[in-house]
Structure 1
Amino acid sequence: MTRAATVAVRQTPKPAEEIMRSNNPVFNRSEEFNRSGGAAYQDFGQQYDGYAQPGSPTTESRTQGRMTIDSVVQSTAITLGITMIAAIATWLVTPEITPETGIPSSLLAAVTLGSGAAFILSLVNSFKRVISPALVIAFAVAEGVAMGALSELFNAVYGGSIIVQAVLGTFAAFAGTLAAYKFFDIQVGNKFRTFVIAAMFGMVALSLLEVVLGMFGGNNLGLFEDGMLGLVFAIAGLVLGVFMLILDFDFVERGVAAGIPERESWRAAFGLLVSLVWIYTNLLRILAILQSD
């Protein structure tokens, strides 16, 4: 094979159905992302947009209304901003925790209702084929209420610095993971996706089992306690959250390359918010356990 032929093979884009397939449960319900190029976009299978000449009429018509990095950043900024506003508002409106009053029932209700609503909305958004920005925003509000109440609880028990440390650590994990993904050119394979998805569902199942056992007075597994098992479980959750971010970045990169509709930016924003909240809560638990020792 000549050098010219070798270069041509290397530059030949992957088939559209390979480019657009995802095993992430947050993203694999997207019809546009999982359909083959010929089925989703009749003109996409003929030519990969990234290889069209800039400024040509074909390129301009294809890029209109498509997901871009800018649209993902905007959608993510909106959802993250709403989550933070809801968290701050919940912190301010709920009564303070004092030694005399203990934990207010309204604070416990905010944690329970917020996390319950967020869990239900996360399932709806994950398995909804056509993403709904309104449901993503509703999820952000519910998640913000839960995170605000939970943060206030941790602040009262372990001190105010733990919240600042967890927030800074979450954004540091996001920035570090994004930098590693781009600079080290991390390639996401099917085995890695399968492992992350299986681990995520397994951790969720164990967490639900722990909650159910606690509600009915059974012997807890110790996953949420301050012992060594709780620390290991939180560290595993933190690592898994970083892996989830990698899947999110992979979805955005493949989605932009495939030219999926702009509304899918909200699906990307939803996935990123889920990963960030996952990292934040596990960082909170790790810091709390380390301070209690």
Structure 2
Amino acid sequence: MRSKNPVLNRSAAFNPQAGYQAGRVPQYQGQGFDPYSAPQPVDRMTMDDVVTKTALTLGVVVLAAAFSWFLVPPALVGVAWIGSAIAALVVSFLVVGRRGVRPGMVIAYAALEGIFIGIFSSFLERLFPGIVVQAVIATFVVAGMVLVSYKMFNLNRFASRISRGLMIATGALAVVYLLNFVLSMFGVHTGIIGYGPQAGGLAFIVTAVAIVLATMNLLVDFAAIEDGVRMGAPAEQSWVAAFGLTVTMVWLYTELLRLLSYFRQN
């Protein structure tokens, strides 16, 4: 299955049409090319690699979130929140846009994203005590249910069918969020994004749609990673897989956190 996740889609390792052979480096014509030499074996990506790298990146997210929660001065909260969001977006584009794997950029993204969600989580926790623990539990429950369902019902083929439409829908939602952010900078409140019981029906609908899209993206991520392992992707591609999963998990957490706030009283 060719992944529609923009992170995994950039890597030939997750693309069955790219010509990767299990455990071997693709050969190219050029200086020093020997058509009679055998391809050199390389380390292959495994599920253990992906799990380890994903645990590392999520651990960095948690540590950075704890740092921003407890150590960022109140006077700098606004700057740190907006700055980390913009910086994380820039770094994510750099990770997606580069052909080579840059583990440092993946870790940098995790740290910046951690600062962002740490400040956001701290803000909502002060308003609605206990909501962060609920959101964390809900995120891992949803991810676990998606993984179990994927394995039990062999949803690889289903993920392939929905991947194109999912990419379009996710991109459209990203554009809506970006426009809402730009308008909010000029004092225009669209009601698309909110928090708390006063958020309104439109915010509830958008958040519910976002949670469905994030869940479906997680399913497609699992399928793409499984394809990469089966095709013998190089071990370094586990960083790409970990990055893609981290992006989706953080997105799912923030949407669940916002959804839970709609049902809480100040």
Q: TM-score range by the shorter chain?
A: 0.7 to 0.9
1:238 aligns with 2:208: no
Number of paired residues?
248
Task: Describe how 1:1-293 pairs up with structure 2 within 5 A.
Answer: 21-34=2-15, 36=17, 38=19, 40-41=20-21, 64-95=42-73, 104-159=74-129, 161-186=130-155, 187-218=157-188, 220-225=189-194, 226-292=199-265
Gaps of 5+ in 1: 1-18, 45-60, 96-103
Distance 1:168 1:177, change over 3 A: same
- What letter is aligned with 1:261? P
CA–CA distance in 2 between the matches of 1:92 and 1:230?
A: 29
- Structure 1 stretches of at least 4 aligned residues deviating more than 6 Å after TM superposition: none
Aligned-pair identity (%):
36
Contact 2:21–2:231 under 8 Å retained in 1: no
CA radius of gyration, larger in:
1
Distance 1:122 1:37, change over 3 A: closer
- TM-score normalized by structure 2? 0.87
Gaps of 5+ in 2: 25-39
Q: CA-to-partner distance for each residue in 1:103-146, whole Å, 9 max, x for gaps?
A: x3311122111111111111121222222111100100101111
Q: CA deviation at 1:292?
A: 4.2
CA–CA distance in 2 between the matches of 1:31 and 1:43?
A: 14
Distance 1:105 1:66, change over 3 A: same
Contact 1:30–1:128 under 8 Å retained in 2: no
- TM-score normalized by structure 1? 0.79
Q: CA-to-partner distance for each residue in 1:230-253, whole Å, 9 max, x for gaps?
A: 011111111111001011101110
Contact 1:26–1:271 under 8 Å retained in 2: yes
Contact 2:23–2:232 under 8 Å retained in 1: no
Contact 1:245–1:272 under 8 Å retained in 2: yes
